[in-house]
Structure 1
Amino acid sequence: MCKDWLDKKYLKNRRARVLKPVFSFLLVLTSWFTMGQVTSSIDSTSIKIGEQITYQIKVESGPEDLVLFPEGQSFKPLEMIESYAVDTIKKDANFELIKKYGLTQFDSGTYFIPKQKIVVGSKSYFTDSLKVEVNNIQIDTTKQGLYDIKPLIEVKKPSSNWLQTLLIILAVIVVLGALAYWFFFRKKPLTEEEKIALLPPYDRAKLALKKLEESPYLENSEYKQYYSELTLAIRNYLDEKVYDHALESTTDELINRLRLLKDGNQIDLSAETIKNLESILKRADLVKFAKSEPDKELAKLDRQTVDLEIDHVKEALPEPSEEEKLMDEQYKLEQERKLKRKKQWTLAGAIGAFIVLIFVGFGLKYGFSYVKDKLFQNSHLELMEGEWVDSAYGVPPVYISTPEVLKRIDKDTDDSIMTKTTTFTYGSVEDLGVSVSTTVNQNQGQQPQGMQPQQGQQTPSNPEIDLNAAGEKIMKGFEDKGATNILTKQDKYTTPNGAEGLNVHGTFNVSGKEMNYSLFLFVAENNSVLQQILITWPQNQEYAEKIANRVIGSIELKKPE
């Protein structure tokens, strides 16, 4: 019994020793096959700054597998400058897919291309990370001369589309001038009514009677219209030459007035003329208001009588004196001046209406506040819409976009501290302002302002930068410039490319203005460089706030290693 048990135990151990190498071989083979589906390689492991390397990913897949390659900037710290199309090679029943990328780096050093994720069907695979050496370009200083940095020069911003703007303005002026000439200054031909209105009162009355004689009123038995125009002709003449209320007076009032003028020797009218006019005016009243129909021949005789009596009235009028002639001339000049002023006011009103119409049209399309600021040349709006400058400032560089180029200011602090601050600025803290500063510790055994050693340690060769102390120094600078009511908040901040720092922001008052500020603090170069970006802008000013937000959104730094 014991012997049988020992035999079984021996056979079992022997079987295990035989199968174990088989299982190990199968596991290795399976692993090799799986990893063999995705491979990666580069054409060079050592390049110069800015030189391109080709990164290749090779995938073996079935005809029904969906393969997803990396997209975007997933190769950092190297930069992808080009993504090539996928090459497909058919191998038996499967496919071999080859995807290539062009990569580069502009700083020297040793870099690793990170693992890349490739999805094949429902499975995910990762490539190996690859090492790349980026070398500096060696310069032979014995053959290449070194020169000082050239001084700053003023560069005028090119005026954009000035010719098009000028042509539009000239076209508008020409159109307005043509309209003004056509409607206000052009000598227009007179109409028939205007020609008649310019005739003297006597000629106008005679012309009216002549037209009445040629009219078909009597043939059509239109006596009311006939006598209306007949009395209007005589009343108009009397109104202008004898009695200035002749048109609105009744027949009795007009005749009584003529008799009073005759009795006062103001006009030498005969009693027969007055009687004839009274008879005709009363007969006209009967026709107009009582629907009387006189004989046709009597109506013709009345027109002839009025024609004759107008001559008598003209003869009875006294000759105007020199004073009256002068008054008439002054009256004429005054009328001309009134007409000229009327044209000027009409022209001004038309131009004003045209401008208002343009303002309303642009206001409805772009907003009235924008049009107003554009019209009155809001300085912040002009900066916002101008040509912005994308540049790098300081070493290591701070990449930032600003409406104007920042001007450089170098500061050497106390020699015992051995620090150097390079500042690039635009504007001031009393208005829209941007400042980029880089403080470099030129003596690693010393510590620049804003830099403190770690507690319990001696001063290190690379002291730790105290961002809070640096921020307090900036706040002290605000106070030195007269700022009051300084409110401060602090938050951690990370730039779009991953550089971490501190954001100190808030408000303050200076020179009667309420201002916003945002200060960004970063460390670089193994804690030996302090980088500061300060933006200030007035509160409650739309375009200044938009400019500040755009500047803040553009900040990028080299991510610390």
Structure 2
Amino acid sequence: MFFFAPIRSVAQDDPRVASEIDSTQMRIGEQLHFEISVDADSTALVVFPEGQTFRPLEMVKASDIDTFRNKDRVNLIRKYALTQFDSGHYTLPRQKVIVNNKDFYTDSLQITVNDIAVDTTTQKMYDIKPLAEVSRNYSGWVRYIIWAIIILAVAGALVYWFFIRKKPLTREEKEALLPPFDRALLGLKKLEESRYLIQSQYKEYYSELTNIVRAYLEEEVHISAMESTTEELVTKLEMMQQAGRLNLEKNTIDNFKSVLQKADLVKFARSRPDTYAAEEDRKVIENVVVRTKEAIPEPTEEELLQREEYIAELERKRRKKRKVTIAIAAACVLFVAAGGAVAYYGFTQVKDTVFGHPTRELLHGEWITSEYGYPAIVLETPKVLKRTEVKLPDALKQIISTNQTFTYGGLIGDFHVSASATTFREGVEFNMEDAIQGSVKTMEQQGAKNIIVKQDEFTTPSGKKGIKVHGSMDITLPGSEKTVKGEYIILNFNEKGAFQQVIIVHRQDDRYAKDIENRIVNSIDFKNQ
């Protein structure tokens, strides 16, 4: 059945907000469909409820807004799927709808969530199954391993690309690696194929022609040719010829001098030779290059050996420089990556991630939600709590019907959590204060000293009320007189005629323990039996 709940009576032009629900009765886990409709001007700005504003009911899904137009007005409808997994009577709170910055509210509704009837006469009852050992789950590490591989692969690729690989040489670089003789002939060949003479660019033609031969003489003959004048350069060649260091014919030197003088006239006196003469001058320079190559005496064996040793030494230095460069690059990559991680996460987080930290691994590991004892207490913990046999004194055996205790870690370890459920024999009057004092005394027997006790009321996120006992204490380390500061919290509940207790103990200086404690505490709930 549907319930229609208008907000108020308004004028025709005012917005109208209404709500309806398909039923006020549901079974555990079923879904109710709650609908909010707004009738307003087509230019109105309407904001519907978003998120979990329907608590204690849980919003499973919100539909897209349906729009229906009627002349200058618009009817907006949005539907919500709501559910609840605990039986009881709940109030669906009023929902706020904003129209043109003005608040409108739907009516609150009473919702009843019913248990699912179970016929215990036909349904067999089974004992609680023992804990099953499972292999450790490493799925959480896969993500870190993949990211580490990706980062290392990228860093390795960058180092290889910029420092290790032999980069393909450009045409200019390949030409620069040629021997001086081959480079000079190649330059003269390019000059022959150039368009300088076609475009009457004689100055550019002769400048490049003389630069080619001067560069060749400077590299091959080892004289300062580029900075010398024509007369100085010719004089140096004649002196080398006379000293027997360059077996160059006098006719070749004279032809070379003639071309250099003509080039000076073209460059500085704006002389314009004919094209044929310019081409002949290029041939003269080519002949000078070839004759000079032939005129250079062959190196002695000692010179060749010295050259080989020099080349080998250069190669050793090059390899050493390459290794140093790679090492520096890798160190820089690691330093930048580490610095970025420290800047973003903090030094402590990075240190604990790299070198490990016991409780950090608990916090970021795979958590398990499970039920413990009867009546069941529901907890989310980083590790499964294991059943622990507790020896009860004879006096307690007379009043306790059942006691089920589940623990992880010891009181003097990095982190301890326990959950217990206790039922009492018929007619026994339970005193929670006595139970709390007994828990504190048990911690003293296990090595705790100087226990400071504080007591407050406590309510779980699901609305269950209890007593919270908390404080600090000194924990004596086994085998020594040394103590460390610890903190504890004892949560006590009296639900469904039983006494449920959750105890958490950790070291005071543990920076991750508080987050674990809060997550466990916020997960506490009680199973409907």
Letter in 1 for 2:466: E
Alpha-carbon distance in structure 2 between the residues aligned to 1:273 and 1:81 = 107
Which residue pairs with 2:458 in the alignment?
493
| 3-state SS, counterpart of residue 412 of structure 1 | coil
Which residue pairs with 1:215 in the alignment?
194
Structure 1 residues 213, 399: closer, same or farther in 2, change over 3 A? Answer: closer
Alpha-carbon distance in structure 1 between the residues aligned to 2:198 and 2:527 = 107
Aligned partner (choices 114, 126, 133) of residue 153 of structure 1: 133
| 3-state SS, counterpart of residue 294 of structure 2 | helix
Aligned partner (choices 506, 509, 513) of residue 536 of structure 1: 506
Give CA deviations for 1:361-395 in whole Å, capped at 9, x if unaligned. x999xx76699699859766765565421112234
Q: Does 1:548 align with 2:517?
A: yes
Contact in 2 for aligned 1:465/1:530 (Cα 8 Å): no
Structure 1 residues 384, 148: closer, same or farther in 2, change over 3 A? Answer: closer
Gaps of 5+ in 2: 10-17, 35-82, 95-106
Contact in 1 for aligned 2:472/2:486 (Cα 8 Å): yes
After TM superposition, list the pairs within 5 Å mapping 1:158-169 onto structure 2: 159=139
Residue 208 (structure 1) shift: 2.1
Structure 1 residues 462, 179: closer, same or farther in 2, change over 3 A? Answer: closer
Which residue pairs with 2:220 in the alignment?
241
TM-score, scaled relative to structure 2: 0.57
Which residue pairs with 1:465 in the alignment?
433
Kindly name which structure, 1 or 2, has the bigger radius of gyration based on alpha carbons: 1
Q: Does 1:307 align with 2:273?
A: no
Alpha-carbon distance in structure 1 between the residues aligned to 2:342 and 2:365 = 21
Residue 401 (structure 1) shift: 0.7
Contact in 2 for aligned 1:493/1:503 (Cα 8 Å): no
**Aligned residues between the structures:** 440
Alpha-carbon distance in structure 2 between the residues aligned to 1:533 and 1:331 = 78
Aligned partner (choices 422, 433, 436) of residue 418 of structure 2: 436
Contact in 2 for aligned 1:184/1:347 (Cα 8 Å): no
Letter in 2 for 1:293: S
Structure 1 residues 183, 532: closer, same or farther in 2, change over 3 A? Answer: closer
Aligned partner (choices 490, 493, 500) of residue 520 of structure 1: 490
Contact in 2 for aligned 1:392/1:398 (Cα 8 Å): yes
Gaps of 5+ in 1: 1-56, 87-101, 107-112, 446-459
Which residue pairs with 1:24 in the alignment?
none
Which residue pairs with 2:205 in the alignment?
226
Structure 1 residues 363, 423: closer, same or farther in 2, change over 3 A? Answer: same
Letter in 2 for 1:551: I
Give CA deviations for 1:452-502 in whole Å, capped at 9, x if unaligned. xxxxxxxx8755533663464476478x37x99x87644221223423112
Which residue pairs with 1:98 in the alignment?
none
Alpha-carbon distance in structure 2 between the residues aligned to 1:104 and 1:306 = 100
| 3-state SS, counterpart of residue 411 of structure 1 | coil
Letter in 1 for 2:434: D
Alpha-carbon distance in structure 1 between the residues aligned to 2:110 and 2:196 = 111
Letter in 1 for 2:467: G
Alpha-carbon distance in structure 1 between the residues aligned to 2:84 and 2:177 = 91
Greater alpha carbon shift after TM alignment, 379-388 vs 214-223: 379-388
Alpha-carbon distance in structure 2 between the residues aligned to 1:250 and 1:428 = 95
Residue 159 (structure 1) shift: 3.5
Contact in 2 for aligned 1:436/1:534 (Cα 8 Å): yes
Letter in 1 for 2:372: Y
| 3-state SS, counterpart of residue 224 of structure 1 | helix
Which residue pairs with 1:295 in the alignment?
273
Give CA deviations for 1:247-287 in whole Å, capped at 9, x if unaligned. 45555665565466556554444566556545544554454
Structure 1 residues 311, 546: closer, same or farther in 2, change over 3 A? Answer: same
| 3-state SS, counterpart of residue 465 of structure 1 | helix
Contact in 2 for aligned 1:255/1:278 (Cα 8 Å): yes
TM-score, scaled relative to structure 1: 0.55
| 3-state SS, counterpart of residue 369 of structure 2 | strand
Contact in 2 for aligned 1:235/1:246 (Cα 8 Å): yes
Alpha-carbon distance in structure 1 between the residues aligned to 2:494 and 2:502 = 11
Give CA deviations for 1:406-445 in whole Å, capped at 9, x if unaligned. 2333232566765997653345668863411438599999
Contact in 2 for aligned 1:513/1:538 (Cα 8 Å): no
Give CA deviations for 1:216-251 in whole Å, capped at 9, x if unaligned. 423433222112211222122122212165445555
Q: What value does the CA root-mean-square deviation take over the aligned residues?
A: 6.4
Compare relative contact order (CA 8 Å, sep 6+) and give the higher one, 1 or 2.
2
Which residue pairs with 1:29 in the alignment?
none
| 3-state SS, counterpart of residue 433 of structure 2 | coil
